[in-house]
Chain A
Amino acid sequence: MTRLERFRAMLTLRHFDEACLEGVPTGEIHGELHTGIGQEAIGAGMMESLQPGDAVVSTHRNHYHALAAGVPMKPMLAEIFEKASGLCRGRGGHMHLFDAEHNFSCSGIVGASLPVALGYAYSFSMKGQNNLAVGVTGDGGANNGAFHECLNIAGAWKLPLVVLVENNELAISVPIGDVSATATIAERACAYGAWGKKVDGTDVDIVAEAFAEAAHHARSGRGPAILEASCHRFRGHFEGDHDSYRTMKEKREMRERHDPITIARRKLLAEGLAGEAELDAMAEASQREMAELLAEVRAEPLPEAAGALDYLFVGGKR
């Protein structure tokens, strides 16, 4: 991806989650929507290193990883709006997106993603496929026992697993510094014979390079990689979180200083890779496309109540 394409990808992610936000006050989306707003550089940065057949297993805050994995935008947005035409026919919703074609899955349970990613990694290794599995976790999930179990196994068996840690420094309200024995998550790599690196996750170019390095390590048969990307969650943990654990001043400064889109824009302009007008036009086009998509999705019907028991088992309801 070119630098400009990375920028455009971040715009798409931001506008996607902003489209989701529109469904919250109307009640179209309910039940703890988690947006990735502020964390776009990570989703956009991983995109270019993923290859067909790779697997991504994400978290409750999964939209950006799904789009990075190639999950098509319209059925995904339709699923988040719980439509019959949604990716999962309205059974999953915003926290449970599954796309078999793109080997994308996720879990709404913090810490539960890595074991599933490990299964994909074992499958690739066993079948001799040159694919990798990305297991996404936050800093909070990195303190779950599954993190240790999975990295130990991946290290012992040299499995192609990239553990992507989105460290936004808060497990809801609890700062990572208060609850981690190590200063970084990445430094735990030495316990598992893994590759480990912590990078500035607000700079899409840095993330893209680091993710490419981690992916190369995992694909080369040398075992797992831990890529820790620092970032900032601009909104509350979920829509409805009062976010009272941060002051207004802190939040204002965070948005001013650490917005990955602003950071990339400034770099592109400074390096003469794009002009103001071009970037503005790009943002406007992205926003317009998303508004059109949102309107289309909103017009779709909800699933029929009569089908509420379908899909539990193959070929039968119960």
Chain B
Amino acid sequence: MSSAVRNLSISQTVAEAIGLEMERDENVMVMGEDVGKIGGVFGATRTLQKRFGDKRVRDTPISEMAFTGMGVGLAMAGLRPIVEIMFVDFIGVCLEQVYNAMAKIPYMSGGNVRVPMVIKTAGGCIGSAAQHSQCLWGLFAHLPGMKVVAPSSPFDHKGLLSAAIRSDDPVVYIEHKALLLKKAETFLNGGHVPEERYAIPLGKAKVVREGSDLTLATLSASVEYALEVSEDLAREGIDLEIVDLRTVVPLDSETVAASVSKTGRLLVVDEDYLSFGLSGELVTRVIEALGPGGLKQVARHAVPDVPIPAALSLEEAVVPGPASIAQAVRELAAVS
């Protein structure tokens, strides 16, 4: 195994994970809009149809309700379907099958029926306005019965997807559009992607930068944004500890609480909406773990409960990015 960073895009590491799992297990299959012939609009299933045939890599009509429910039936019939919802924003037309069928059947059946299914979908903001820019991991996490994964690094994209495919529980795997076409070598964290198959356990957060002054917990693209500004902040005298949550369900609040017990300050950065979501949940769990006196300062930086606007000047004003994250860190650190 070479330790050199391969010049892959994230979407290629995703396709590589799926291809390796399809080789390993003939029950793994992919379906969704444009996943076959063109290999996905973001290229995350490229070459798979050529290699595995059009039955196992199936282009579907624009019928999300039908093909998401098909995933449930396929999973109950013994297959391991990966259902691609092109943009996570489209989940509204098929949420019924996601939260009433996929997520509830294992519990409703008293554990007698398993639904080993992955919904693979792209979230995140890349200037596509209100209906193509959401993250929505908080929505899925709120509804019981599905694991929710939002990877950041190239290494994690591959390993967490393998774990999701092998999981006997339903998993929603949310890519970030800004990361999908980014090259592995440009990442500050986890750019090396081994060629072989590997899986990263779901539910284990990772400290991607150790520091002593302030715990910044986040996930997905914001991990890179935080790393990008961390050295500048260090030069300003703020030594960040950055925790990549990796999964929203299960939420590894223990790792965050352990970090906060060292730094005393917690900033949660979330590209999803602010209210009733991940940031509030994580802060609450950390307080429950450490007690109300366990934190000196706490803050949240997330989308302030508005749809994502089209104009880039407006988008920048509401979506966490490197500059706004740095600003939120400075504000929190400035409070004594």
* Chain A residues at the B interface, C-beta cutoff of 8 Å: 55, 57, 86-92, 96, 98-100, 103, 105, 107-109, 112, 114-124, 126, 133, 145-146, 149-150, 152-153, 156, 310-314, 318
Q: Which residues of B contact A99 (CB under 8 A)?
A: 112
Q: Which residues of B contact A103 (CB under 8 A)?
A: 76-77
| B250/A318 in contact, CB under 8 A | yes
| B74/A122 in contact, CB under 8 A | yes
| B100/A107 in contact, CB under 8 A | yes
| A153/B107 in contact, CB under 8 A | no
When chains A and B are docked, how far (Å) is the Cα of A312 from the Cα of B105? 9
A-B contact pairs, 16 of them (CB 8 A): A98-B112, A100-B76, A100-B113, A105-B113, A109-B100, A115-B97, A116-B73, A116-B76, A118-B69, A146-B69, A149-B61, A149-B65, A150-B66, A153-B66, A311-B106, A311-B109
| A96/B69 in contact, CB under 8 A | no
Report if B327 contacts A (CB, 8 A).
no
Q: A92-B108, A312-B107 are in contact. List 18 more A-B contacts (CB 8 A).
A: A88-B108, A92-B109, A108-B100, A114-B69, A115-B67, A116-B69, A118-B73, A119-B70, A119-B74, A119-B75, A122-B70, A123-B79, A145-B65, A152-B61, A152-B63, A311-B107, A312-B106, A314-B111
When chains A and B are docked, how far (Å) is the Cα of A150 from the Cα of B70? 9
When chains A and B are docked, how far (Å) is the Cα of A147 from the Cα of B145? 26
Report if B290 contacts A (CB, 8 A).
no
For B195-238 the 0/1 string (1 means CB < 8 A from A) is 00000000000000000000000000000000000000000000
When chains A and B are docked, how far (Å) is the Cα of A314 from the Cα of B56? 26
Q: Which residues of B contact A153 (CB under 8 A)?
A: 60-61, 63, 66-67, 70
When chains A and B are docked, how far (Å) is the Cα of A153 from the Cα of B69? 12
When chains A and B are docked, how far (Å) is the Cα of A122 from the Cα of B67? 10
Which of A57, A96, A311 has the most chain B CB atoms inside 10 A of its CB? A311
A241 CB, min distance to chain B CBs, angstroms: 22
Q: Which residue of A lies closest to B202 (CB)?
A: A313
* Chain B residues at the A interface, C-beta cutoff of 8 Å: 29, 55-56, 60-61, 63, 65-79, 81, 96-97, 100-101, 104-114, 144-145, 147, 167-169, 250
| B63/A120 in contact, CB under 8 A | no
A158 CB, min distance to chain B CBs, angstroms: 12
Instruction: Give the number of residue pairs across the A-B interface with Cβ within 8 Å.
Output: 143
Evaluate whether A313 and B147 lie within 8 angstroms (CB atoms) in the complex, with A91-B108, A109-B96, A118-B66 already known: yes
Q: Which residue of A lies closest to B146 (CB)?
A: A313
When chains A and B are docked, how far (Å) is the Cα of A310 from the Cα of B145? 11
Evaluate whether A98 and B70 lie within 8 angstroms (CB atoms) in the complex, with A107-B101, A123-B77, A123-B78 already known: no
B232 CB, min distance to chain A CBs, angstroms: 38
| B168 touches which of A90, A91, A149, A314 (Cβ 8 Å) | A314
| B111 touches which of A115, A118, A156, A310 (Cβ 8 Å) | A310
Evaluate whether A86 and B110 lie within 8 angstroms (CB atoms) in the complex, with A55-B77, A149-B66 already known: yes
Q: Which residues of B contact A145 (CB under 8 A)?
A: 65
Q: Which residue of A lies closest to B117 (CB)?
A: A119
| A314/B69 in contact, CB under 8 A | no
| B55/A126 in contact, CB under 8 A | yes
| A313/B61 in contact, CB under 8 A | no
Q: Which 10 A-B pairs have the closest CB atoms?
A: A119-B73, A115-B69, A89-B110, A149-B66, A311-B111, A98-B109, A119-B70, A149-B63, A123-B77, A88-B110
When chains A and B are docked, how far (Å) is the Cα of A123 from the Cα of B117? 14
When chains A and B are docked, how far (Å) is the Cα of A119 from the Cα of B58? 13
Q: Which residues of A contact B60 (CB under 8 A)?
A: 153
| B66/A133 in contact, CB under 8 A | no
When chains A and B are docked, how far (Å) is the Cα of A78 from the Cα of B127? 54
Q: Which residues of A contact B70 (CB under 8 A)?
A: 115-116, 118-119, 122, 153
Q: Which residues of B contact A133 (CB under 8 A)?
A: 73
| A91/B97 in contact, CB under 8 A | no
B92 CB, min distance to chain A CBs, angstroms: 13
Q: Which residues of B contact A120 (CB under 8 A)?
A: 73-74, 76-77
| B109/A100 in contact, CB under 8 A | yes
Q: Which residues of B contact A105 (CB under 8 A)?
A: 76, 105, 113
| B65/A311 in contact, CB under 8 A | no
B103 CB, min distance to chain A CBs, angstroms: 9
Q: Which residues of A contact B168 (CB under 8 A)?
A: 314
Q: Which residues of A contact B100 (CB under 8 A)?
A: 107-109, 112
When chains A and B are docked, how far (Å) is the Cα of A107 from the Cα of B103? 13
Q: Which residue of A lies closest to B109 (CB)?
A: A98
| B109/A115 in contact, CB under 8 A | no
A145 CB, min distance to chain B CBs, angstroms: 6
| B55/A115 in contact, CB under 8 A | no
When chains A and B are docked, how far (Å) is the Cα of A86 from the Cα of B110? 9
B332 CB, min distance to chain A CBs, angstroms: 30
Q: Which residue of B lies closest to A117 (CB)?
A: B73
When chains A and B are docked, how far (Å) is the Cα of A285 from the Cα of B167? 48
Q: Which residues of A contact B67 (CB under 8 A)?
A: 115, 153
Q: Which residues of B contact A55 (CB under 8 A)?
A: 73, 77
Evaluate whether A88 and B101 lie within 8 angstroms (CB atoms) in the complex, with A115-B69, A120-B76 already known: no
Q: Which residue of A lies closest to B145 (CB)?
A: A312
B89 CB, min distance to chain A CBs, angstroms: 18
Q: Which residue of A lies closest to B102 (CB)?
A: A116
Q: Which residue of B lies closest to A307 (CB)?
A: B110
| A96 touches which of B63, B71, B108, B169 (Cβ 8 Å) | B108
